Structure 1
Amino acid sequence: MTAEERLAQLPPKLQSVVKTLGSAPKVIKTEMLLEFAKKMPPLPEGMQGKLEQVHECTTPFFVHAELENNQVRLFFDAPKEAPTVRAFAGLLAEGLEGETPEAVLGVPEDFYTLAKLEEIITPLRLRGLQAVLARIKRQVREAQG
């Protein structure tokens, strides 16, 4: 499957994020990820007990996905001093928030390769990103019943 065909599998908002990151030079890509870190949505009151820790992340990172009117809602928590995992949260929130369960479940586990994130992020951290996506997908499946 070509990169274009793989890109076409992504929901439109995630596709846009991935295309932008994938075409950016390494220096700018790092700055872009820091912008995503700033976009990590704040955790609403009462969500603390619902979040699941992603143990594969080297930094304490928590996620919760739920369905509202057949749209995926995402919630994240990570320390302010952890820009990489906050960037993952911001990227996933921007790319997947409000999508249908089917669209989220169809995202390939290695979608980040289309964004060429391996140019600036270590394999250990990328495995953490995969684990976050896997948790989101599992929680979406559970929410579907």
Structure 2
Amino acid sequence: MSLPPELAELVDDFGAVGPKDRLQLLLELSQELPDLPERYADAADTMEQVHECQSPLFLAVEVEDGDDRPVHLFFSAPKEAPTTRGFASIMVTGLDGQPAATVLAVPDDFYTDLGLAEAVSPLRLRGIAAMLARIKNQVRAATA
């Protein structure tokens, strides 16, 4: 599997603990989701909504110019949606700052290796898959 080092480390962290601890790890990550910069203060107007998520989640992707085309991710999710925020935090921790080609090479189903199927519902897992799909779509559009 082709994962950037930060994302591979998260997959390893989740794989090293049991299902209950995976959920706890996800909840801890939810508290680490960075605040939005001012330019995204009105998330509904400035960001793309991920409708597959059970909670309102908005994302924005910025791709820098240059050789590697580094990708930057921004998410808005309510504090009372820790699972959604945890998934967003996984994306930020694992993909933010990575070259566009690296982000596009992440397998669409990488999240299955997090082992969260025993801890969260399939509907919630569909949300993380949708986040990655939208990130990739925005990266493709920005690099076309």
TM-score (ref. length: structure 2): 0.92
Q: CA deviation at 1:41?
A: 1.0
How do residues 1-145 of structure 1 correspond to structure 2 at under 5 angstroms?
A: 6=1, 9-47=2-40, 48=43, 49-69=45-65, 70-145=69-144
Amino acid at match of 1:141: R
Quote the Cα distance in structure 2 between the aligned partners of 1:65 and 1:119: 30
Amino acid at match of 2:52: E
Q: CA deviation at 1:68?
A: 2.1
Contact 1:23 1:115 in 2 (8 A): no
Amino acid at match of 2:24: E
Q: CA deviation at 1:50?
A: 2.6
Contact 2:22 2:115 in 1 (8 A): no
Q: CA deviation at 1:114?
A: 1.1
Give a deviation string over 1:69-109, Cα, whole Å, max 9, x none. Answer: 41110000011100000000111100001001111101111
Amino acid at match of 1:105: L
Long gaps (5+) in structure 2: none
Give a deviation string over 1:88-140, Cα, whole Å, max 9, x none. Answer: 01111000010011111011111111111112111001011100100000001
Give a deviation string over 1:1-33, Cα, whole Å, max 9, x none. Answer: xxxxx2xx1111100001110121112111110
Contact 1:109 1:130 in 2 (8 A): yes
Contact 2:4 2:98 in 1 (8 A): yes
Percent identity of the aligned residues?
48
Contact 2:23 2:116 in 1 (8 A): no
Alignment RMSD (CA, Å): 1.0
Over 6 Å off, 4+ runs: none
- What secondary structure, in the 3-state scheme, does the structure 2 residue paired with 1:87 have? helix
